[in-house]
Structure 1
């Protein structure tokens, strides 16, 4: 668990006495690696005048650039991201629930998408509705070449269905008084109102101190709650939410419960009966797996973590009921698995947010204690996998560190979605980031095959891969790029076309980490821009009524370019003019993109004399046949559109006014495509 970075702020001034009043700060990481965290004072004005609960968001790559989205007078108790990382739910102890959404994916511009109030209710836990999409790595075919075989869609029902079986967007809330609340958000383009429903978790309202929510595979929610008293059981409930027309119906069903174990050789130093003990934390080990729970309890002897699993058990039926033949009744019971003891109190727990491997115990539990130690534990045995300690170096102008504190520094921890990094927030709102061992195989260091598999998983699922980049070693970047490219090139044409843009983004980010990969990253960025413009230009083309619909105009253009024509006017003769007709007003709006295409073509030709092939054969845009052919296609489109609207043509600075630049550039690029590895000297001289 190596330390990656720490982000510090100036310590609050004049509010030393307030530190003993409210030591509750939380943080959360989204699937796009955007972090949300709370502070007691505003970062910009850290005085007693701004004392409250402030919510900030920042990119994990630049955590020092934080943007405030909310300043709350009451304590914020819940920060919850949805699966896409677009919605952020903020709830407080007075019952206010607000859901924010970024405007056009800008981190410094957030708008309030929904707001409601449950007066007098302390919001304890929340979870967004599951979309029903779950992709896992097939352990039997994880070394296979095909993405379709390596990654499988696991059957998983969405939480709430609407018309047509589509998943509904919303969230489930739980309060400290045992009240359930569901919020169904309308579609962004719909004018229908938000639907609110409340229900009691049990037959009677109960007091809850700690709780957690996870998802069942049949679309229901699983809730584990505790009143904090170890003499009372850990209760579990099954909650279902059903939408019927303009209403929402919630049902809660009690499931088997269990008492914490305090007997046995491994628990001889932790007795619930002789000393006053209480439950501090409950966590489902995996949010999409309702079979395992980890519970943290504390007394004067220290803390104890216990893992419980839900298993089927055959119970013999009494002979008076079963008859002469022995019969068994199969039931589901909670079974104690393992425990971990520590001399200090647990201050926060973090577990995995998704399962990369299906039905395999590949996840782990991270626990932070009051002595500022952080322990990474195996999921089943709770044996220590790695441990570290948070050492905070005082700043020169920190008056709060002159006297020792009686409270722990660590207040909350959260794990990234891929499980590669751990975010820690302390009492001063400092952010700290630590590496975590690989989830699939934690017994060995991070390897190239494992990193390639995770990058491919991000490519398929759409998850952000920044947390993986933060734990990569520099020496494995080249091998990782080669292995990723080799695997991607083995996929079918349809798969490559569908994931091509995201593939370019992943490779570009890898090359940016390399000390000698900046030129490659620059060329890939140009290729990504070229591909985006090509997609936009081709989307404007429509087949004419007279032509055959077997091929689209874009396919016809690609086929003609592949024939190797060097004269752009000869290429035009093989194309149907009506299929490439676009409104003149639309063409004029594309002039800046057309100019960028022309500038890129000239820039590549200018660099050609200096780009001799080397022994290592690094990636260059000039050596990419696919990129050059796309560029030639764009030049042909520009030539056609220039005949329709001359004002949209690119502007060139020419020494000869009679020189036609586009045919010349197309001819030079065509000759380069014919022999990319060793262009002839005549071509280099003309360039």
Structure 2
């Protein structure tokens, strides 16, 4: 992907294999894998729930045992072609034959072993021939790649033994594939003809073979030798040819219990339109469906004059990341099917404990969680969100800091999928942006000395805020050392221009903090008419109010160092001398104290009156820059299934979050149509003049070109180069 954009791809390199037909290809494994074990759902710590697979090694390593990226290709003549992407962007290629003799292959598949080697399964298409397996190992030697190939354990199909010679001549092997690229010990082989098919499941075991003492170097009498051997596990017959298979992508522990409530499976599709779900470990058929029943929207959208041939079967299918859905192509339509039913009587019912475990797994590993929402029912969203919060509070401080933004992104998705949760989704998104900006502002402050016992200036501000509840901003600043709040202490005596430039570049971030504080305090008056509104949950959260107090103090001190970084306020003519930062700090302190006592803000008449007159003194900025819910893609989960979409056309209900927010605080149409940069916190106008990128998850916009000049903002922009603040991938806007 060019510039980490989903819809912009560029050619990185190429490797020519002239006259060869490619049968299988795979990327190198990086050796990193976190196991998903439903048996550990009752454990408290995330480090105990989700453990790393220590037996897995990278496919190719360089100096320092760090992995290298690249690909491996198998051709019809048994040629192995390898391309390695070096750290400097150079691509090194190498080729090697699987076997010394000539091969003519029809099917092949590739899987990674735990030792870092690559297992290749091949077939020439004949039922009477063996399924040959090879082990490929890679080694980097200076600027070249050494490929080593050796024969591994092979097998003959059980179908060959069950049918006569005449029947075997009419049958052939139609596909050879591993369960997935990380599961090299489970092989799925399909054979048959135009009338039926057999899917054989084979498991690779290490058989202990006694070795005669004359061949052993050990003097012990019970010397055993481990030999790989394929063992037949099951045969799944069907009176129609098999057309596609979809293996699981979720790396699971092998010792999965039967009482966990989580059912792992792999899916197979036949030419007669049958789609079956097979248990991953018992190989029993869990459910059987017809593709016409699953894809009801495909036939209803066809025009009466369409003369194209209609196919009654699935042409391709694949599982989603968590297995909660299947993506399939049928009659030229891309369909997403939910596999776990919402009915408790269904065999594929997923309990809430398993859903919480899946969502926690996505938080820890950084995977996308969109497909897990397919299994979430409307009635369990609030309980799932509460369980995630309770489990998060039990983690250590370091783990909480690491996954806090992922938890907020997940809550945005959960509440966005809830019919009555649009306001909570907007509040979580605003808190996510607040946490990201506060981390950047507090992170640039460093203590004068590097001693371990010294506290950072941000920590000193937190301690002072917890002690002072009088709401006087000047008094608390007088007790702090202003010299500690220089962005870069090394430049405060050498180059004041560099220091002021660093603070000036952060002015959009400080402006967002001030505007967000204004929006929260001005919305207190809505308590008279509404119980919930945009920002209502944040006004009752003392941690959010306390964080805003700390940021106001830091911003005020930075304004004393460099007045150019002070937020800009638009006041009325009769209050030109209003100190907005001091007023904001006083109101935030009073609201913070009430929340600490457990009292509601609407019951304090003095605070309520001052917040009500605040819009008459200061211009309140647009809600769009703080509560970014213009395009809530998770609203599709609030609709009645099945749904039908057209590429390039967005349904109207994606904008219901925007209409819900503006119902409480109406704004001008010009303010609603303004584009706002979620990363740099600047206004882009109605029609930005430069190329912009859009988040595929929350719909927020951002400039594609880097415009930062200071090192501080360059690091800030680089942090969000790969993904949005919510964790969604970027795509180039049209």
* Class of the TM-score when normalised by the shorter of the 2 chains: 0.7 to 0.9
Instruction: Give the RMSD, CA atoms, in angstroms.
Output: 3.0
Equivalent position of 2:367 in the other structure: 463
Look up the match of 1:40.
Answer: none
Which of the numbers 470, 485, 497 marks the counterpart of 1:580?
485
- Aligned residue number for residue 617 of structure 2: none
Closer/same/farther in 2, CA of residues 317 and 674 from structure 1, 3 Å limit = closer
1:199 aligns with 2:96: yes
CA contact (8 A) 1:344 1:369 kept: yes
Structure 2's unaligned 5+ residue stretches are 258-262, 293-297, 488-498, 612-734
* 228, 232, 247: which one aligns with 1:351: 247
Deviations 1:517-574 (A, max 9, x none): 1111111111111111111212322322599862222222222222244222222233
Q: 1:153 to 1:574 in 2, by over 3 A?
A: farther
Q: How does 1:586-625 map to 2 (within 5 A)?
A: 586-611=502-527, 620-625=537-542
- How much has 1:589 moved relative to structure 2? 2.0
Query: 1:393 aligns to what?
Result: 299
Deviations along 1:224-265, one digit per CA (max 9) or x if unpaired, are 11111111111111111111221111111111111111278x
The DSSP-based 3-state class of the residue aligned with 1:491 is coil
More deviation in 250-259 or 279-288?
A: 279-288
Aligned residue in 1 for 2:568: 651
Number of aligned positions between the proteins: 573
TM-score by length of 2: 0.73
Change over 3 Å in CA distance of 1:401–1:360 after alignment to 2: farther
Distance 1:568 1:108 in 2: 49
SS at match of 1:164: coil
Match of 1:4 in 2: none
Distance 1:260 1:314, change over 3 A: same
1:146-190 deviation per Cα after TM superposition (whole angstroms, max 9, x unaligned): 111111111111111111111111111111221111111122xx2
8 Å Cα contact 2:33/2:52 also seen in 1: yes
Secondary structure of the residue that 1:152 maps to in structure 2? Answer: coil
Q: Is the 2:424–2:537 contact (alpha carbons within 8 Å) kept by the matching residues of 1?
A: yes
CA distance in 2 between partners of 1:368 and 1:222 (Å): 25
Which of 328, 339, 349 pairs up with 1:436? 339
**TM-score where L is the length of structure 1:** 0.78
Does the CA-based 8 Å contact 1:137-1:358 persist in structure 2? no
Structure 1 pair 263–106 and aligned structure 2 pair: CA distance change class (3 A): closer
Contact 2:127/2:160, CA 8 A, preserved across alignment: no
Secondary structure of the 1:354 match is coil
Q: Which residue of 1 aligns with 2:699?
A: none
2:41 and 2:353 in contact (8 A); partners too: no
- Aligned 8 A contact 2:208 2:227 in 1: yes
Aligned to 1:174: 74
Q: Deviations over 1:458-484 (max 9, x none)?
A: 011111010111232111111110111
1: CA distance, partners of 2:231 / 2:521: 70
Taking the aligned partners of 1:272 and 1:632, their CA distance within structure 2 comes to 84
Once the two structures are TM-superposed, the CA of residue 630 in structure 1 deviates from its matched residue by: 1.6
Q: Structure 1 residue aligned with 2:230, among 324, 334, 341?
A: 334
Listed as ranges, the gaps of 5+ residues in structure 1 are: 1-100
- CA gap of 1:619–1:653, structure 2 versus 1, over 3 A, is closer
Instruction: For residue 359 of structure 1, report the CA deviation from its aligned partner.
Output: 4.5
**Deviations, residues 618-641 of structure 1 (Å, cap 9, x unaligned):** 970111222112211211121011
Structure 2 partner of 1:553: 457
Q: Which has the higher helix share?
A: 2
Q: Which moves more between the two structures, 557-566 or 511-520?
A: 557-566
What is the CA deviation profile of residues 113-169 of structure 1, one whole-angstrom value per residue up to 9, with x for unaligned ones? 222222222222111111111111355533111111111111111111111111111
Aligned with residue 661 of structure 1, among 565, 574, 580: 580
| 1:282 aligned partner | 176
Aligned position for 1:236: 133
Checking the alignment, whether the CA contact within 8 Å between 1:394 and 1:401 is kept in structure 2 is no
Query: Is the Cα–Cα contact under 8 Å of residues 410 and 425 in structure 1 kept in the other structure?
Result: yes
- Residue in 1 that maps onto 2:377: 473
Name the residue aligned to 2:192: 298
| 315 and 657 in structure 1: CA distance in 2 versus 1, 3 angstrom threshold | closer
Instruction: Output the CA distance in 1 between the equivalents of 2:548 and 2:206.
Output: 62
Q: Residue 502 in 1 paired to residue 406 in 2? A: yes
1:183-198 aligned within 5 A: 183-187=83-87, 190=88, 193-198=90-95
Determine if the alignment matches structure 1 residue 121 to structure 2 residue 20. yes
Asked whether the equivalents of residues 302 and 345 of structure 1 are also in contact (C-alpha less than 8 Å), the reply is yes
2:544 aligned residue (592, 609, 627) = 627
Residue equivalent to 1:3? none
143 and 151 in structure 1: CA distance in 2 versus 1, 3 angstrom threshold: same
State the Cα distance separating 1:201 from its structure 2 match. Answer: 1.4
Aligned 8 A contact 1:337 1:380 in 2: no
